[in-house]
Amino acid sequence: MTEASSSSNSIQNEKSIQPEGTYSLEQLKEHNTRESLWMLLHDKVYDITAFMDEHPGGDEVLIEEAGRDATEAFEDVGHSDEARDMLPKMLLGEFYGEKKTKSKKSISSTGGTTSSSGFPIWVVPVALIAAFLAWRVFLA
């Protein structure tokens, strides 16, 4: 075996070895239940299983984001400094590897966008326009 091929093999092996104290996407995905719930926030992996009952937003939102990168959802809600101060107690370690992105929008079978509850969003403006027209015709 030549020195060059030996060198390239050791470089490949170094790239495929996951550093100790880090967690991969595959490991993260294995923990997406009430019994074991992990979440990725800002490239750090947290075990939030014990916190589920205390979460002010309910455990459903945590379960929905479990086992994947929840950074965007965490930041969109606008968590308080107190919530951020709780994170170090739940820290497992750093994230290692590629993150996969997910699509936020859900499209209904009719092609319209729906809210998280499944309610068609377009109904609200249509109802407001109908109410305004009824007011103008019957009361003005």
**CATH number of the domain residue 92 falls in:** 3.10.120.10
DSSP H or E run through 78: none
Decide if 123 is inside a domain.
no
Decide if 138 is inside a domain.
no
Decide if 35 is inside a domain.
yes
Decide if 113 is inside a domain.
no
First to last CA, the chain: 93
Decide if 41 is inside a domain.
yes
Q: Which pTM was predicted? A: 0.57
Decide if 135 is inside a domain.
no
How many separate domains does the chain show?
A: 1
Among candidate residues 34, 30, 64, 68, the one with its CA nearest the CA of residue 48: 34
Decide if 52 is inside a domain.
yes
Q: Higher model confidence: residue 106 or residue 63?
A: 63
Decide if 126 is inside a domain.
no
Question: Per residue in 81-120, pLDDT tens?
Answer: 888 888 888 888 888 777 664 444 444 444 556 556 667 8
* Burial class of 83 by CB neighbour count within 10 A (0 to 12, 13 to 18, 19+): middle
Question: Per residue in 2-61, pLDDT tens?
Answer: 444 444 444 444 456 767 778 888 887 888 888 888 888 888 888 888 888 788 777 788
> 48 to each of 31, 39, 60, 102, how far by Cα in Å?
10, 7, 13, 21
Which residue range(s) make up the domain with 44?
A: 22-96
